[in-house]
Amino acid sequence: MSRVKTLQALFKRYRRPGDIVFAWLFLAFALFLLFHLTSQTQYKPGGKVFAQPRFWPAVSLIGMTVFAALHLLGSALSERIEGRWREVGFWLRSLEYAGWFIAYAAAVPYLGYLPSTVLAALLLAIRAGFGSPRVLGAAVLSAIAIVLLFKSFLQVKLPAGQVYEYLPDGLRQIMLTYF
């Protein structure tokens, strides 16, 4: 009897309250991709089936759709878990950080890489609830280290900030090259 109980425990699926919402969204996404397969891939007449540019994407998207449908079926047949919309709200709150990144990426061409990175580090530290001078100083130093690493050491090409145009000639050249 203990063996059966162990197998039941082994195959018991842990579900989150928002599982059914995720299953619906994932199935919708899989179907969207599957329906757009023919417009995004090609079929070359006379070629081998496995060498077709459409074949492997089709296999993966059909598999994705089937497993998404099975996930939805399993979620729909399981008992309802309280707190579904609270869980979905938690997922949506994480989109705030995507918004922060988009604002940061939009600011770089105007403010420049160094000021944008320092500002983003400060704002995110404050947003996360770390407002002490020590932590804010560490955020600024981290931002400067990141800029020096990427722009000066690794020489990653990033757009120069329009603000740099207002700097004196010598300082502008240094900022454009290293920051």
Tell me: the pLDDT tens digits for 65-113? Answer: 999 999 999 888 877 778 888 888 988 998 999 999 999 999 999 998 8
Nearest CA to 43 out of 55, 25, 33 is that of 55
Examine the fold and report which residue of 92, 108, 137 is the final residue of a domain before the chain moves on: 92
Examine the fold and report which residue of 73, 92, 111 is the final residue of a domain before the chain moves on: 92
Pair 22, 34 in one domain:
yes
pLDDT at 138 over 60: yes
Give the pLDDT score at 46: 79
Tell me: the pLDDT tens digits for 39-67? Answer: 988 888 877 878 788 899 999 999 999 99
The lowest-confidence range among 24-33, 43-52, 103-112, 166-175 is 43-52
Sign of the torsion formed by the C-alpha atoms of 48, 52, 58 and 63: positive
Pair 73, 102 in one domain:
no
For the chain, the domain total comes to 2
Pair 18, 87 in one domain:
yes
Give the pLDDT score at 78: 79
Burial 34-69 (b: 16+ CB within 10 A, else e): beeeeeeeeeeeeeeeeebeeeeebeebeebbeebe
Pair 67, 111 in one domain:
no
pTM over 0.85: no
Pair 66, 141 in one domain:
no
Torsion from C-alpha of 82, 88, 90, 96, nearest 10 degrees: -170
Pair 57, 118 in one domain:
no
Pair 118, 153 in one domain:
yes
Pair 70, 132 in one domain:
no
Q: What are the helix (H) ranges across the chain?
A: 2-11, 19-35, 37-40, 55-77, 84-93, 95-111, 113-127, 133-147, 169-178
Pair 87, 100 in one domain:
no
The range of the structural domain enclosing residue 161 comes to 95-178
